[in-house]
Structure 1
Amino acid sequence: MQGNSDTPSWVTLTEGEQLVWNGHPSLRSVGGTFVVGLILIAVGIGIGALFEDVIRLLSLVPIGLGLFIAGVTYVNYRSVQYVLTAEEVYKKSGIISRNVVNIRLDRIQNTSYTQSLPERFLGYGHIQIDTAGTGGSDLILEDVPNPEHVNGLITEYLDKVRPQPDEQPQSA
Structure 2
Amino acid sequence: MTEAWLSLDPGEAIEWEAHPRLMRAAPAIAVSLAFVVAAVTGGVIVDGLALVLLVVAPLPGIYGYLRVINTQFVLTNRALHRKSGILGIDVRTVELDRVQNSTSSQGILGTAFGYGNVTVDVAGGSDLRLFDIYDPDEVRAEIERLAGRSDDIPGTVEQWRAVREELRAIRHELHGQPK
When normalised by structure 2's length, the TM-score is 0.70
What does residue 3 of structure 1 align with? none
Where does 1:3-152 land on structure 2 (aligned, <5 Å)?
6-41=1-36, 44=39, 51=44, 55-61=47-53, 63-133=54-124, 138-152=127-141
**SS of the residue aligned with 2:31?**
helix
Give the letter for the 1:87 counterpart.
Answer: R
**SS of the residue aligned with 1:38?**
helix
Q: CA RMSD in A?
A: 2.9
Q: Measure, in 1, the Cα distance between the counterparts of 2:142 and 2:122.
A: 17
| Distance verdict in 2 for CA 1:31–1:91, change over 3 Å | same
Aligned length: 152
Gaps of at least 5 residues in structure 1 are 1-5, 167-172
Cα distance, 1:107 vs structure 2: 1.6
**SS of the residue aligned with 2:47?**
helix
Cα distance, 1:45 vs structure 2: 5.2
Whether the 8 Å contact between 1:29 and 1:124 is mirrored in structure 2 is: no
Gaps of at least 5 residues in structure 2 are 156-179
**SS of the residue aligned with 2:57?**
helix
What does residue 170 of structure 1 align with? none
**SS of the residue aligned with 2:88?**
coil
Q: Measure, in 1, the Cα distance between the counterparts of 2:114 and 2:36.
A: 28
Cα distance, 1:25 vs structure 2: 1.3
Cα distance, 1:102 vs structure 2: 0.6
| Distance verdict in 2 for CA 1:34–1:146, change over 3 Å | farther
Overall identity of the aligned pairs, in %: 30
Cα distance, 1:145 vs structure 2: 2.5
When normalised by structure 1's length, the TM-score is 0.72
